[in-house]
Amino acid sequence: MKLPHSPLGPLSRAPEDDIDESEVAVGGEAHAAAGATAVAVAMKRAVEQMGPLRTARTLLRLNQTDGFDCQGCAWPDPEHRHTAEFCENGAKAVTEEATLRRVTPAFFAEHSLADLEGRTEYWLGQQGRITEPMVRRAGGTHYEPIGWDDAFALMATALQGLDSPDEAVFYTSGKTSNEAAFVYQLFARAYGTNNLPDCSNMCHESTSVALAETIGIGKGSVSLTDVETAELIVVAGQNPGTNHPRMLSALEKAKRGGAKIISINPLREAGLVNFRNPQKVRGWVGQGTDLADLHLPVRLNGDLALFQGIAAHLVAHDAIDRTFVEQHTQGVEAWLAHVAEVDWAELERASGLTRAQIEEAAELLRASSATVFCWAMGITQHRNAVATIKEIVNVALLQGNIGKPGAGLCPVRGHSNVQGDRTMGIWEKSPPEFLDALQAEFGFDPPREHGLDTVDAVRALRDGRARFFLGMGGNFTAAVSDTEVTERAMRNADLTVHVSTKLNRSHVVTGREALILPALGRSERDRTGGTTQRVTVEDSMSAVHASHGPLAPASAHLRSEVDIVCSLALATLGDRHAIPWAEFRDDYTAIRDRIARVVPGCESYDERSRQPGGFVLPHPPRDSRTFETGSGRAVFSVSPLEVLEVPEGRLLLQTLRSHDQFNTTIYGLDDRYRGVKGGRRVVFVHPDDLRHLGLEEGARVDIVSEADDCSERTAYDFRVVGYDQPLGCAAAYYPETNPLVPLEATATHSNTPTSKSVVVRLMPRRA
Ligand SMILES: Nc1nc2c(c(=O)[nH]1)N[C@H]1C(S)=C(S)[C@@H](COP(=O)(O)OP(=O)(O)OC[C@H]3O[C@@H](n4cnc5c(=O)[nH]c(N)nc54)[C@H](O)[C@@H]3O)O[C@H]1N2
Ligand SMILES: Nc1nc2c(c(=O)[nH]1)N[C@H]1C(S)=C(S)[C@@H](COP(=O)(O)OP(=O)(O)OC[C@H]3O[C@@H](n4cnc5c(=O)[nH]c(N)nc54)[C@H](O)[C@@H]3O)O[C@H]1N2
Ligand SMILES: [Mo]
């Protein structure tokens, strides 16, 4: 049976018929991550979707110097690579792309838009690779095939017909190569807009803002060697066992060298507790390594308080690198005065930790002369995220833990090339120097006003101020907050276009007209212009290297992202700016030559990216303790503590990833490490909170969020799972819970949706 069409879409509705969640089972959390099970799970999926030969061909080339970069996370590659230099979830990411399943024009003829609208992300993604460009004409009930030239002409006409270039939105997800990203931002600016929102806006934007203001560059300051040789590693708000599994190998190596690890997380995530390295015999059998020496079960959003407490303890015990602070920083007096006045009762209330727990962590910091601070979405997706990251920076600066071996700031990025895209100018707020360089190189005057970020892009589409949307990869509609509002906004557009590999929700919630443009993936041979092209990417530690895929493309109709951007630019702009789009398209070296002249630190780009292992971009604080802030010094910042108050009977909900998904791409319905099997609509709550709320384990509830402006939003039909975490907290999977996050709920200064702190109540469903 198919569900009737609903304007709200499946995300905000009850589960679909295409997934039967009546069998969802819970219990038996894993206490160790990776190990032999991880290898077995990855191999099973790979062989099912690719067959044994293709599995061997792809997985053995993954992350090798002569191979292709993993489509999974942005964790860097070690210098000495194993033959199998990938993790369970990297293998799943490759399988997802290299699958032999296909979505052809016949599929679209069979499935109407109304039909596809009733499907889950999981079902959509599992159908396979899209093989041909498709169009949904105004009023059409189905997508139909369209030729590439007609698709470009349709887009060009739409773009030429806008009242202002600022009515167009050019979104980027984080898999786009540096070459494609460079021509994409060049096209948007030559066309006349800085509307270049990207997935960073929902991800590490809080990091970029906080680090740019405090250390003068919005990127992390460590190398892989620093992590491996640290004395202490703090892992805050991150679940590496699932999202950056290869990071566990680095943590393990550090531990064997004597390092200590502090995990700061409301959940006791497998992997930090115990890790079995599948790349070592030791990991296949036996006990594995206990990674975290100290686990601090912080209350959601309690990290600012925690780091202020740590700071207070360090200052009280004079654990200060005075030489560093005097020579390289500013603002320490005001900050010391602030820290001297912390109210411990308030810190305990905000963090959910005792003073003794906080001081235990601080003592580990005090004893360490080289500390690395890692963090991810548990820190960046809160209202006070920028303040929290600045507090982490304060603590690092206090002990001089930046620009020395084994120490530094390590924001762990998400998408494999999200950092590279930003380096290439995918940024709605690119600094004037970058725009000046574009102007000098290409002879046109790029727009100077800031463009729209993701949340502002939704507002503009909703209000009719934007009418054209192009997504370079990604799944904008499902990834952004406030699903119902976002879906309405997308339907408001004249034309929505998605350059994609797999089907997703964004293809189904369309503007008046819509295009799907199928692109080559990273595992595939790129023969654009008749020669074998390679691309380049940058990892989370600023290392740039080349990538080229070994596989024959999923279909002869696929085009590379570079080709798609350059062809669109030719159709839209012709020779308006004398930018050689056709030359760029036919030879990516010509793009790299321009990157070398425009992007700071990319001199001799083509040559250096050809070297095995690539090269590392400059990072002044890391390289020479140079801080390119206004004053030339790193900045201590004072952030007043706010306690997030949750009314009686309500919970603070975080929306997070299961072990079986990549963002909105759902690989499967199990979360092995958290003991969930066969379903995703679950909400984790402490057993005591369940009792207090009068809910039984396994009860079915609707989750209702309560926004600051008193508006309410509902996500329907979740099963309650008792799960250890601080009282008053809850967790459920994204993207199913995105309908609950209000569009207006964003982090101060970074505008990142507050996906990790949503005030909710659980409403029992009537049987
Ligand atoms: N397999 C796989 N790999 C991925 C992804 C994927 O979906 N699947 N996504 C990629 C992307 S784009 C990204 S950004 C990264 C995401 O990587 P993570 O940031 O690890 O992803 P999340 O699942 O959002 O996990 C957030 C973690 O922070 C904790 N947390 C939540 N709130 C708080 C808090 O207030 N304080 C503290 N201290 N902890 C908190 C949660 O319990 C959880 O462990 O992974 C990348 N890699
Ligand atoms: N509630 C909540 N919301 C969140 C988050 C959260 O933790 N909680 N996390 C946020 C974060 S950190 C991020 S990064 C965003 C992610 O937001 P996005 O990056 O927009 O989403 P993805 O799910 O990674 O995009 C998946 C789609 O990308 C396409 N794709 C995959 N590979 C390629 C390729 O090589 N080329 C092209 N052209 N397309 C490709 C496929 O069609 C696939 O369906 O979501 C954010 N949203
Ligand atoms: Mo991300």
Per-residue pLDDT tens digits for 654-672: 999 999 999 999 999 999 9
485 within some domain: yes
Domain boundary among 393, 412, 431: 412
Domain boundary among 412, 429, 445: 412
Per-residue pLDDT tens digits for 667-706: 999 999 899 999 999 999 999 999 999 999 999 999 999 9
Please say if the pLDDT value at position 29 is more than 70.
no
Please say if the pLDDT value at position 84 is more than 60.
no
Pairing of strands 468-472, 495-500: parallel
pLDDT the model gives residue 13: 46
| CATH assignment at residue 424 | 3.40.50.740
Rounded to the nearest angstrom, the distance between the alpha carbon of 240 and the centre of ligand 3 is 13
Domain boundary among 366, 385, 412: 412
Question: Which atom of ligand 2 approaches the CA of 130 most closely?
Answer: 42
* Cβ–ligand 1 contact at 243 (below 6 Å): yes
pLDDT the model gives residue 139: 97
Tell me how far apart the alpha carbons of residues 563 and 420 are, in angstroms, rounded to a whole number: 19
Least confident of 25-39, 271-285, 356-370, 406-420: 271-285
H helices of 13-98, in order, are 35-59, 88-98
Per-residue pLDDT tens digits for 526-541: 999 999 999 999 999 9
List pocket residues of ligand 2, CB cut-off 6 Å: 173-175, 199, 202-203, 377, 381, 414-415, 472-476, 479, 499-502, 504, 519, 521-522, 561, 655-656, 663-665, 734, 737-738, 741, 755
Nearest to 168 by CA among 567, 446, 493, 515: 493
491 and 535 housed in the same domain: yes
156 within some domain: yes
Domain that holds residue 81: 9-98
Rounded to the nearest angstrom, the distance between the alpha carbon of 175 and the centre of ligand 2 is 9
Rounded to the nearest angstrom, the distance between the alpha carbon of 600 and the centre of ligand 2 is 28
348 and 487 housed in the same domain: no
Instruction: Give the torsion sign (CA, 271, 272, 276, 279).
Output: positive
439 and 560 housed in the same domain: yes
**Shortest-distance ligand to the CA of residue 382:** 1
Per-residue pLDDT tens digits for 333-370: 999 999 999 999 999 999 999 999 999 999 999 999 99
Per-residue pLDDT tens digits for 741-754: 999 999 999 999 99
Rounded to the nearest angstrom, the distance between the alpha carbon of 199 and the centre of ligand 3 is 6
pLDDT the model gives residue 17: 46
Ligand 2 pocket, mutate which of 244, 664, 741, 743 (most atoms under 8 A from CB): 664
| CATH assignment at residue 757 | 2.40.40.20
* Sole residue written with tokens 């990516």: 588
pLDDT the model gives residue 74: 83
Q: How far is C-alpha 89 from the chain's CA centre? A: 15
405 and 472 housed in the same domain: no
619 within some domain: no
Least confident of 25-34, 111-120, 136-145: 25-34
Please say if the pLDDT value at position 171 is more than 90.
yes
604 and 681 housed in the same domain: no
The backbone torsions φ and ψ at residue 33, rounded to the nearest 5 degrees and listed phi first, read -100, 165
226 and 140 housed in the same domain: no
- Take atom 25 of ligand 2 and give the residue whose Cα is closest: 474
- What confidence tier does 613 reach under pLDDT thresholds 50, 70, 90? confident
H helices of 669-738, in order, are 687-693
Please say if the pLDDT value at position 56 is more than 50.
yes
Rounded to the nearest angstrom, the distance between the alpha carbon of 17 and the centre of ligand 2 is 24
- What confidence tier does 58 reach under pLDDT thresholds 50, 70, 90? confident
Ligand 1 pocket, mutate which of 97, 243, 642 (most atoms under 8 A from CB): 243
574 within some domain: yes
Least confident of 63-72, 243-252, 294-303, 422-431: 63-72
- What confidence tier does 263 reach under pLDDT thresholds 50, 70, 90? very high
289 and 382 housed in the same domain: yes
pLDDT the model gives residue 405: 98
135 and 33 housed in the same domain: no
What does each C-alpha distance from 266 to 31, 333, 358, 670 come to in angstroms?
Answer: 16, 33, 14, 21
Per-residue pLDDT tens digits for 90-110: 888 888 999 999 999 999 999
pLDDT the model gives residue 365: 98
Chain mean pLDDT for the chain? 92
Please say if the pLDDT value at position 250 is more than 80.
yes
209 and 183 housed in the same domain: no
pLDDT the model gives residue 275: 62
**Domain count for the chain:** 4
| CATH assignment at residue 306 | 3.40.228.10
436 and 581 housed in the same domain: yes
444 and 301 housed in the same domain: no
What does each C-alpha distance from 596 to 182, 439, 686 come to in angstroms?
Answer: 11, 15, 53
392 and 461 housed in the same domain: no
Rounded to the nearest angstrom, the distance between the alpha carbon of 426 and the centre of ligand 3 is 15
- What confidence tier does 15 reach under pLDDT thresholds 50, 70, 90? very low
* Cβ–ligand 1 contact at 10 (below 6 Å): no
Q: Under a CB-based contact definition with an 8 Å cutoff, are residues 121 and 504 in contact?
A: yes
- What confidence tier does 285 reach under pLDDT thresholds 50, 70, 90? very low
Q: Under a CB-based contact definition with an 8 Å cutoff, are residues 656 and 650 in contact?
A: no
Rounded to the nearest angstrom, the distance between the alpha carbon of 522 and the centre of ligand 3 is 18
633 within some domain: no
pLDDT the model gives residue 281: 43
Q: Which residue has the higher pLDDT, 66 or 410?
A: 410
Please say if the pLDDT value at position 119 is more than 90.
yes
pLDDT the model gives residue 46: 83
* Cβ–ligand 1 contact at 265 (below 6 Å): yes
pLDDT the model gives residue 212: 98
- What confidence tier does 52 reach under pLDDT thresholds 50, 70, 90? confident
pLDDT the model gives residue 39: 72
Please say if the pLDDT value at position 284 is more than 70.
no
- What confidence tier does 283 reach under pLDDT thresholds 50, 70, 90? very low
Please say if the pLDDT value at position 6 is more than 60.
no
Please say if the pLDDT value at position 236 is more than 70.
yes
Tell me how far apart the alpha carbons of residues 165 and 572 are, in angstroms, rounded to a whole number: 12
pLDDT the model gives residue 68: 84
* Cβ–ligand 1 contact at 300 (below 6 Å): yes
1 within some domain: no
Rounded to the nearest angstrom, the distance between the alpha carbon of 735 and the centre of ligand 2 is 10
390 within some domain: yes
pLDDT the model gives residue 300: 98
105 within some domain: no
- What confidence tier does 30 reach under pLDDT thresholds 50, 70, 90? low
In the chain, what percentage of residues exceed pLDDT 70?
A: 92
Ligand 1 pocket, mutate which of 73, 173, 202 (most atoms under 8 A from CB): 73
